[in-house]
Structure 1
Amino acid sequence: MEKKYRIKKNEEFQAVFRNGESFANRQFVVYFLKKPNQDYFRLGLSVSKKIGNAVTRNRVKRYVREAFHQIDEEIRNSYDYVIIARKPTSNMDFHEVKSSLIHVMKRSKLLKTSRG
């Protein structure tokens, strides 16, 4: 994932938390903030030490990034997204992570294919 598509700075995370909206399921919390002057989406990841050791946390982050990469055509642009992984993600494989992310993104109407 290219640098311009990432959220890394604490101020950017805080802006999404303070001004954005959120949706959640058992595995993930998705915070999102509309950025009208931005023609692509940016992604920030938060995986707590409660999830597991560094190997587990990095695996979860890799899975989430790859899932976003695979569904990036369906994701609405002009948004900043912050994904917070919850405890159950530590035992999930890639396909479970991807389907869980798609589920929470559809619930929040952030996919172009979602109706509602």
Structure 2
Amino acid sequence: MNPALAHPHRFTREDRLRQKVAIQRTLKQGRKKVFPELVIYALRNELPHPRLGLAVSRKVGNAVVRNRIKRRLREAFRQQSVRTRGRDVLVVARPSARQLSMRAMGAYLQQTLERT
């Protein structure tokens, strides 16, 4: 049983897109959706659950700002209704993501995941 299903509020290692090969595959083969604040790549995987990778550079802000954006993105991803399907999602934050609400992040993720 997937630990994320047993504890839906947790974001476990299995939920993270961590391997360099998987990240590169998602960048090259995944469907790309560009928004003013985020760029989202999504690609189906063979796993029964989705994985999320985040890229938030120093251009976005200091450590406090970057960590806040990452927390919001993880929570928006966790709340998605289409999370049951296996896919790899990589989110690249742009500097304008500082003003983005969690609701807007969720809407962007929903738009991208519905089409994958």
Normalized against structure 1, the TM-score is what? 0.79
Between the aligned residues of both structures, percent identity stands at: 29
Q: Cα–Cα, structure 1 residues 86 and 4, in superposed 2: closer, same or farther, change >3 Å? A: same
AA aligned to 1:15 is R
Contact 2:82 2:113 in 1 (8 A): no
Look up the match of 1:101. 109
Spell out structure 1 runs of 4+ moving beyond 6 A.
none
How far apart in 1 are the matches of 2:109 and 2:64?
21
Q: 1:38 aligns with which of 47, 59, 64?
A: 47
Q: 1:69 aligns with which of 71, 78, 81?
A: 78
AA aligned to 1:52 is G
Look up the match of 1:15. 25
Normalized against structure 2, the TM-score is what? 0.79
How far apart in 2 are the matches of 1:86 and 1:105?
19
Look up the match of 2:8. none
Gaps of 5+ in 1: 111-116
- Over the aligned positions, Cα root-mean-square deviation in angstroms equals 1.8
Gaps of 5+ in 2: 1-10
